[in-house]
A = this chain, B = another copy of it.
Amino acid sequence: MIGIKGIASYVPVAGVDNYAQGAKFDKDEEFILGKIGSAFLPRKDDGQETSDLCVEAANALFANNPGLKRESVDVLIVVTQNGDEEGLPHTAAIVQDKLGLPTTVAAFDISLGCSGYVYGIYAIKGFMEAAGLKNGLLITADPYSKIVDPEDRNTTMLFGDAATATWMGEDAPWHLGKAKFGTDGSGAPHLKVSDGVFFMNGRQVFNFALIKVPAHLHELLADSDLQASDIDAFCIHQGSAAIVDAVARRFEGEPEKFIKDMVETGNTVSSSIPLLLEKHVLDSDWKRVALSGFGVGLSWGSAIIYRP
């Protein structure tokens, strides 16, 4: 059974001091840390393309996992909505070349935002099992610095650039359990790009997440015959400190199990959940962890991963 074998990441060293940025918009440190959740927002160099972030994360994965050889990779999926080119070609093809992966690799992009990692792990696992493939790379890289207007107070204090790479394969320490998904395209206008600039209706998105995510996690637990007490940690998309705190409070179960770690990264879109898994989960003694991603689409997905 295909599962999660390892995760690595790339977070640019350069970035924006979010306290200084907040001051520009008359936001104090309490707001920046308590509501936004991020003192620092990593930013890629102007010269770095999305594929370059992917390559950095994948190279970190290769460095950390000597058992993973470039020549044994047979599938590469990039989750992004801000790829290198204007629609085509797909970023995964460019990453195949830059990483020096064999030309026998199956490569494509999945277009999803903050829910993308939860969908992505099932998409790559399923594709591998359906096509008989053995070693997959699931890469997330959605640099919102390409589209966020630095003068837009609703978005410029939120997003950070990052990329992650997840090794999927056999004999994995973490397996995928049940998952549930959802889509409501009637909310598409709340998060979109027009004329190259990102727009977010923050209030609508906050309310959507607050109503949807706790209920969705409860349904997933019920479908899995599990209680909140059976879950060691909840790793939900780090949209902002406010939304993570609010979802945790609405989740009557055990709110202290909701991991919050975005002070140095910001909202990294589809990279937020794998960043949590890399840092807090993969090397832990935990047995069972719940994930939930939510955002642009509107789209959401929740899943349970576990040690077999």
Residues of A within 8 A of B (CB): 75-76, 81-83, 85-98, 101, 103-113, 116, 119, 122-123, 125-132, 147, 176, 178-186, 188, 191-196, 198, 296-299, 301
For A94, the chain B residues whose CB sits under 8 A away are: 185, 188
Contacts of A75 in B (CB 8 A): 181
Please, which residues of chain B bring their CB within 8 A of the CB of A111? 83, 87-88, 90-92, 108-111
> In whole Å, how far is A237's beta carbon from the nearest beta carbon of chain B?
15
A96 and B296 form a contact (CB under 8 A) = no
Query: B89 near A185 (CB under 8 angstroms)?
Result: yes
**Min CB distance, A249 to chain B, in Å?**
24
Q: How far is the CA of A95 from the CA of B162 in the complex (A)?
A: 29
On whether the beta carbons of A188 and B97 are closer than 8 Å, the reply is yes
Inter-chain CA distance A113–B107, complex, in Å, is 12
User: Which residues on B sit within 8 Å (CB–CB) of A104?
Assistant: 180-182
Across the interface, A126 reaches (CB within 8 A) one of B119, B129, B196, namely: B129
Of A89, A90, A179, the most chain B CB neighbours within 10 A belong to A89
Are A185 and B93 touching (Cβ within 8 A)?
yes
CA distance A81 to B108 in the complex (A): 11
